[in-house]
Structure 1
Amino acid sequence: MKKLVSLVVLLFLSGCQLKPVVVAPEELPASETVSIQPPAAEPEQSEPVPSFILDEQATSLAAWLDYKQQILLDPEPESARLKALTTLDEVALLQLALHNLHPDMPYVNRFRVQTQLTEMVSTFPPRLAALFSWDLTFNQKLLEAESAVSALTRLNAQQQDTIERLQKTNRDLQKKIDALTQIEAELNQPSTSETNNGGQ
């Protein structure tokens, strides 16, 4: 049985090593020959500049929504663009505030921008203000969570210090207890002279 299985496996493996049969491609008749030419190069079109206007138009709201998604995914190009600006109009100030509201920015920057952006949004049309209020709400929750984590970290460090002090006190007291136990054991042992006198 082993020989039969070995023979079948050998035949199977040798069949896998055979060279594939090459089939010649069929030639197309001369009348059906198709020439393939590369498509004509289209002139490059620059991306349309989104309309960053502070109004409630659908295109404006869509542009601001796309902008927020863009800076959330990759804030570096926008950071470089904003730093290169020499003058800041109302739109640029809003873009800078939104950029500084990014979750990767330091706590202090986001805290400072929170109040500035709240004041700016209060002057916007209702739908535009609603669009940015989500960012403000999210940032507020993030700031609260970071404050709570910071407070818990401080509390944890204080408790760790207290535990270390108590452990040191515990070790010192244990040493004193061990020393007293040893003294008590020495006092309770009859002296050798008393044992010799008592036995006579």
Structure 2
Amino acid sequence: MMSLNGPSECYLLNTNKGRPISLLNPFTGNTIALPPLRKEIRSLYPLNFVGNRLRSKDLLVVRGLDKHSFTFILGVTRLGDAEWLVIPLPGSGVWVRGSFMYYKGHLFAHELSTGRTIVFDATSGKIAFTMRNTNRLYYNRDVQEYILESDGKLLRIIKNIENNQVESFEIYQLDALDNDYRWIQIWDINEQMVFLDTHSVYLS
């Protein structure tokens, strides 16, 4: 069964069961082979594809779930690479699909159970730095978190839920002052529209 995932300009991630991972352009039928993943990874979802302008130097980033350890991984490769760089995420946290993002050479993963954001170097897989929450504590509430890029800036959106109804939204922007990275709350996204579902986020 064919499984296609991702928002993308043209190419989608094709993860046919029992077949090599590839990119597929659904309009032209063109496919681009990707290296196999050594571990058994399911629920692959693209975090960073560059649409119809694929170049060998561009990073392709996916999120997946290790079938055996049931922990999330981030996978990084380039066209022509022989293998993926696989970055395992800590197994103690609560991760959801919308809380991962590739941004300017780094991979951001927001851990809901602790409120921290772990930032990895996309080429080495090593932790570059860790960010703590700056917003009020919300651990006794039902929330959904998303990370996205907007107008060249990285945003973190918190959807607060009470009695199965959306109560409010909080929006934070990545701020880097003298290499001190933190989330700063904002109230204006320049008349853009953000579409949120259970696990994904889209900007218009």
* Structure-2-length-normalised TM-score: 0.21
Query: Relative contact order (C-alpha < 8 Å, sep 6+): which is higher?
Result: 1
Bigger share in helix: 1
Bigger share in strand: 2
